[in-house]
Amino acid sequence: MGSSAIVVGLGLAAVGFAGRTILRSAPTMTTKFNKILKQFPVDSESLLGSRFYKGGFDAKISKREASLILGISPTANKIRIKEAHKRIMLANHPDRGGSPYLAAKINEAKDLLDSQK
């Protein structure tokens, strides 16, 4: 019984010393990590493929932009438009922490595509 307490105590001491060593070396590791990150290109798309639209919104929404917002084809049918709108609004609704501006743009995109069908 006594020897197991000694082994546990030594194990805890080893963990403590290892933790202290890691915490002391953290600032130097951070600067090394930042130097490594600076070597990579600034554009994240070159590292990872992006499936998101780059750029802001147009002043007046177009059919192309509306289809990009909803993530559907410009020639999609009403059912597909409704499903895409529902899916995107669930993720971006202001009542669930989403942006009211984005919700307005999503609704505007749905209204434009619905009116053209």
Tens-digit pLDDT profile for residues 59-73: 888 999 999 899 999
Q: Which residues contact 44 (CB under 8 A, 6 or more apart)?
A: 50
Spatial separation of the C-alpha atoms in residues 19 and 15, rounded to whole Å: 6
Beta-carbon count within 10 A of 44 CB: 9
pTM over 0.75: no
Asked if 85 and 70 count as a contact pair (C-beta separation under 8 A), the reply is yes
Contacts 24+ apart (CB under 8 A), 66-72: 66/108, 66/109, 66/110, 66/112, 66/113, 67/109, 67/113, 69/105, 69/106, 69/109, 70/106, 70/109, 70/110, 70/113, 72/113
Whether the pLDDT of residue 115 is over 70: the answer is yes
Confidence band (pLDDT; 50, 70, 90) for 42? low
Residue type, 101: Y
What was the pLDDT predicted at 22?
Answer: 79
pLDDT range class, residue 58, cuts 50, 70, 90:
confident
